[in-house]
Amino acid sequence: MSAKKDMVPIKKILVKKEKKQFIKDLNREVVVSKGVKYYVTDLGEDFHTCYGTIDKKDLKKKDGSVVLSSMKKDFCMFSPCFTDSYRRINRLAQIIPIKDVGAIIAECGIGKKSVVLDAGAGSGGLALFLAYVAKSVFTYDVEKDHVNLVRKNIKLLGLGNIKVKEKDVYKGFDEKDADVVCLDLPAPWNAINAADSALKVAGYIVNYSPSITQTADFVNEVNKRENLVHLKTVEIIERKWEVEGRKVRPRTTSIGHSGFLSFVRKIK
Ligand SMILES: C[S@@+](CC[C@H](N)C(=O)[O-])C[C@H]1O[C@@H](n2cnc3c(N)ncnc32)[C@H](O)[C@@H]1O
């Protein structure tokens, strides 16, 4: 197993904004100074950038301070929010995008009283974010490497309300009366019994599958159950736009596919 990034929490973010200038000869704006972002993990050392060094004394200044590098470049400095730190978690398996995480939280009403179960943990992409908003999260994976990586990511984010377990969830979850069970597994239909037994009445099962055939097999299996209702299956599409003065248009890059979300409710 190789972790791509170091396992050190971010302490400060330094941002140098892109600067543009109107060039008369070209009759258009051009970038005269590129925008960059740096993550500072050690406030006790000078911080080196391509635009000069920031003195360690300046790194201790309050959020919103503008600090000057040795090459006289301005950097805005502030503390990271949860999402800044989350985006830097170490990864093995493909993680769920935050557009889909947001939909799960909103649709299932996940909040500070919710107990959430999750499988497979993968890199912890979904479970870690859920732990940030829920009361507690229990996440499961069969792969030891994945379990260990999620433990490191939990430490990186400083979360105290999430437990990771090495177990095959097709054989069952340990918990009962959960509010939400999230599945991101190769054969989610094999986890429906386990999810049902672990869920309280009125709770939700959310299945996230990249392929529509996996989704169909999951939903068709749900539809055989008297006590489960398939509410909807959706694909959340995110289209990025460029905004430059009054030139406002969708980016020319194609819209990527992540996965399908199926929401199921336990009614008895
Ligand atoms: C695509 S990854 C999950 C990614 C995760 N949702 C995230 O956002 O980082 C699927 C995971 O399911 C795990 N898995 C496969 N079968 C399993 C099973 N029977 N029980 C528990 N985990 C399983 C795999 O080891 C893998 O880590």
Per-residue confidence (pLDDT) for residue 244, from 0 to 100? 84
For the full predicted model, state whether its pTM sits above 0.85. Answer: yes
pLDDT tens by residue, 118-141 = 999 999 999 999 999 999 999 999
Per-residue pLDDT, 254: 81
Sequence-distant (≥ 6) Cβ neighbours of residue 202 within 8 angstroms: 265, 266, 267
Q: Indicate whether 221 pLDDT > 50.
A: yes
> Distance (Å, rounded) from C-alpha 49 to C-alpha 71?
10
Q: 213 in helix, strand or coil? A: helix
Does ligand 1 have an atom closer than 6 angstroms to the CB of 39?
A: no
Q: Is the CB of 78 under 6 A from ligand 1?
A: no
User: What percentage of the chain has pLDDT greater than the value 90?
Assistant: 85
The mean pLDDT value for 225-232 works out to 98
Task: Report the distance separating Cα 93 and Cα 78, nearest Å.
Answer: 31
Name the percent of the chain lying above pLDDT 70.
98
CA of 237 from ligand 1 middle (Å) equals 23
141 CB near ligand 1 (under 6 Å):
yes
Residues with Cβ < 8 Å from 158, sequence gap 6 or more? 9
The average pLDDT across 35-62 equals 96
- Cα(115) to centroid of ligand 1, in Å? 19
Instruction: List C-alpha distances in Å: 91 to 94, 126, 185, 265.
Output: 7, 12, 17, 31
- CA-CA distance, 218 to 9, in Å (whole number)? 38
Residues 88-97: pLDDT tens digits?
Answer: 999 997 899 9
What's the average model confidence in pLDDT over 15-21? 89
CB-ligand 1 contact for 67 (6 Å cutoff): no
pLDDT band at 3 (very low <50, low <70, confident <90, very high): very low
What does the pLDDT look like over 52-79, one tens digit per residue?
Answer: 999 999 999 999 999 999 999 999 999 9
- Whether residue 189 is predicted with pLDDT greater than 90 in this model: the reply is yes
pLDDT of residue 255: 83
Task: List b or e across 117-137, with b for residues whose CB sees 16 or more CB atoms inside 10 angstroms.
Answer: bbbbbbbbbbbbbbbbebebb
Q: Bigger pLDDT: 1 or 173?
A: 173
3-class secondary structure, 204? strand
- Over residues 198-216, the pLDDT tens digits come to 999 999 999 999 999 999 9
* Closest approach atom of ligand 1 to CA 191: 19
Residue 2 pLDDT > 90: no
pLDDT for residue 28 is more than 70: yes
**Which pLDDT score is estimated for 54?**
97
Whether pLDDT at 4 is above 70: no
Residue whose CB lies within 8 A of the most ligand 1 atoms, among 184, 207, 209, for a mutation test: 184
Once rounded to an integer, what is the mean pLDDT over residues 10-32? 89
Locate 100 and state its tokens.
């889909």
Residue with the larger pLDDT of the pair 106 and 22: 106
Q: Any idea of the CA torsion for 32, 34, 35, 39, to the nearest 10 degrees?
A: -140
Q: Are 131 and 159 in contact, with CB atoms under 8 Å apart?
A: yes
Distance CA 151, CA 244 (A): 42
Within 10 A of 265 (CB to CB), how many other CB atoms are there? 16
Question: How far is 194 from 185, CA to CA, in rounded Å?
Answer: 13
Q: Which residue has the higher pLDDT, 33 or 2?
A: 33
pLDDT given for residue 1 in this prediction: 40
Q: Does the pLDDT value for residue 19 go beyond 90?
A: no
d(CA 163, CA 60): 34
For residue 33, name the pLDDT band (cuts at 50, 70, 90). Answer: confident
User: Is the C-beta atom of 124 inside 6 A of ligand 1?
Assistant: yes
- The DSSP secondary structure of 160-191, one letter per residue, reads SSEEEEE--GGG--S--SEEEEEE--SSGGGG
